[in-house]
Structure 1
Amino acid sequence: MRDLHLVGIPVDLRQLHHWGVCRSLTCNGYLDEGLALHHVLDECFGRAVLQPFRLMVPHERRQGKVFAYAALDSVALDQTARAVATPDLLEVIDLDKMQSVPRPASAWREGQRLGFDLRIRSVVRLAKPIKHEGKHFRQGAEVDAWLSHVLAGGTADREALYLDWLDARLDGAAKLERQASKMAQFRRSTAVRSRRMTEGPEVVIHGTLSVRDSGAFFGKLTQGVGRHRAYGYGMILLRPPQGSC
């Protein structure tokens, strides 16, 4: 089982946008920050070395921080980046303030309760084509999990549906504590994939889980949850256990 470290690196949002524009990553004038960071991290540290990741930006600030899980600590990552990164990349991220803390597999045990903060792209693929309110959804189309539920005749509200979605994707590694978990944020956001703009649900869930299988849980931390994990979604940021919502 590989080592795991939680890595934090300051990010200059203005420089990230400038870099993304210079690299022609925009679509119709729009820059997907997750896409841009995906490229920045890959070019500095290697393909998928820092993944999953999460960009955290205080309200109306130009400075943020990207958190990620990696098999390497900050010393090894710093050595790699300084050997290969171009000057424009080093204006986006601040290597001098990069930090890491180990997250060994031995830290997790069955029954352990952990709080979490998770940003997800809560989508599913349709098993068959569906027509709804004049719109045609092809088989295999990626749609909001809640919309798929409604199209199938379901009546659950968004929060309950998204918590169900998450619990299913924990896949026995951990059990979601529903009374201590909630949808903290929901919005529709635009992503750029293959130079095309797509809209979808962006959901932040704050909650508590209990570890069921320590090895599988370590794998969930390493791999992330759900789709679009390479673009800033699905990283399980751990917190102290939460009280009832």
Structure 2
Amino acid sequence: MKLHLVHVPLDMHAFNRWAGERELFRRGTFDAGYAFHILLSSMFGKGVLQPFRLFSSERRRKAALYGYSGSDQSELKEQAAAVAPPDCEAVVDPRRLRSKPMPAQFEGGERLGFDLRLRPVRRVRSDVHDPQLGSSLKRGSEVDAFRLELIRRFPVEPGEQTVSGAEAGVTRQSVYTEWLSERLGDAASVERCELAAFRRTRAIRGENGGPEGPDAILHGTMTVAREDEFVRVLRKGVGRHRAYGYGMLLLRPPGRRAPGR
């Protein structure tokens, strides 16, 4: 499978102007991932540069976006030259794109560090009472994996006091690590995982907004198990909302081995 890591320099002032002109603010909420999904799809085609990750600071005008693609920088520039709207090119100058080919495969047993922004959610399989809401979560609802784990492990009846994660001995980091391991499947095993950052953000999906949910960054080390599957995970991304700035598995040098390994 052909895979390239693409670097996209950005002017965030131009991006914010573009998003405002496109009326991408919904009820006072702005989702940069949703806006970049529209921008990148308009310039290169839907899913061509995906998954991706935005690196920006509120105080800085310059930013960068990284993404995986089956196309290299020359092919992306050609595509943009043919179809990209002029207002999009004011945000992303195709001439400044850079890319590098990723390995065709990784060796089984190879240790790799990772940096991953994700939205660790699960779908509710059947109606379940949520004491935090004071009502039921309906089947199919998208819920924070940590919150759902507490509800499943320690169900309470309406009117009863909610059990906290600290009281239950369950941490957000441990739940998200298990969630990640499930989604990596046979591709890799997680050796170490740290919850580096967490917040809750509201997603924008279409005209009517979208759900609020967990927005987490995990750092750690993993070991490649199946070479072919691992490259597919890089290309596809991890978890839901991969088209909107989540799920890009950025590789880093591995951390030190734990004692006894």
Q: TM-score, normalised by structure 2?
A: 0.88
Aligned residue for 1:152, secondary structure, equals helix
2: CA distance between counterparts of 1:86 and 1:77? 14
Distance in 1 (CA, whole Å) between partners of 2:90 and 2:30 is 18
2:116 and 2:83 mapped to 1: Cα distance? 31
Q: Partners in 2 of 1:244 and 1:22 — Cα distance?
A: 50
Return structure 1 stretches of 4+ with deviation > 4 angstroms.
none
1:12 aligns with 2:11: yes
Q: What residue number does 2:101 align with?
A: 102
| 1:9 counterpart SS class | strand
Residue type at the aligned position of 1:240 = P
In the superposition, the TM-score normalised over structure 1's length comes to 0.94
Residues 16-68 of structure 1, C-alpha deviations (whole Å, 9 max, x = no match): 22222222222113221000000110110111100111111146322211111
Alignment partners' CA distance in 2, 1:198 and 1:14: 27
The Cα offsets for residues 141-186 of structure 1, whole Å up to 9 and x where unpaired, read as: 00000000000125421011001100111011000003xx201001
Shift of 1:244: 6.2
Q: Deviations over 1:214-240 (max 9, x none)?
A: 000000001000000000000000000
CA distance, structure 2, for counterparts of residue 115 and residue 33 of structure 1: 26
1:213 equivalent in structure 2:
226
Which of 227, 230, 236 aligns to 2:249? It is: 236
Residues 93-242 of structure 1 mapped to structure 2, 5 A cutoff = 93-106=92-105, 108-133=106-131, 134-153=134-153, 155=168, 156-178=170-192, 181-194=193-206, 195-242=208-255
CA distance in 2, matches of 1:223, 1:229: 8
How many percent of aligned residue pairs carry the same amino acid? Answer: 41
Amino acid at match of 2:102: R
Q: How does 1:75-94 map to 2 (within 5 A)?
A: 75-94=74-93
Matched residue pairs, number?
A: 241
1:173/1:18 CA distance change after superposition, 3 Å: same
Query: In the alignment, is the contact (CA less than 8 A) between 1:105 and 1:214 conserved in 2?
Result: no
Alpha-carbon separation, structure 1, partners of 2:128 and 2:15? 39
Q: Which amino acid aligns with 2:60?
A: R
Q: Distance in 2 between matches of 1:162 and 1:16?
A: 32
TM alignment of 1:33-44, pairs within 5 A: 33-44=32-43
Partners of 2:135 and 2:61 in 1: how far apart? 39
Q: Secondary structure at the match of 1:36?
A: helix
**Please, which moves more after superposition, 230-239 or 9-18?**
9-18
Q: Which structure: larger Rg?
A: 2
Task: Please state whether the residue corresponding to 1:193 is helix, strand or coil.
Answer: coil
- Comparing 208-217 and 74-83, the one that deviates more: 74-83
After superposing the two structures, state which structure 1 stretch, 35-44 or 153-162, moved more.
Answer: 153-162
How far apart, CA to CA, are the structure 2 residues paired with 1:12 and 1:197? 26
Please list every run of 5 or more consecutive structure 2 residues that lacks an aligned counterpart in the other structure: 155-167
Paired with 2:97 and 2:256, the residues of 1 have a C-alpha distance of 32
Of Structure 1 and Structure 2, which has the larger fraction of its residues in strand? 1
Q: Is the 8 A contact 1:20 1:31 kept in 2?
A: no
Measured in 2, the distance between the counterparts of 1:225 and 1:192 equals 19
- Amino acid in structure 1 at the alignment position of 2:234: L
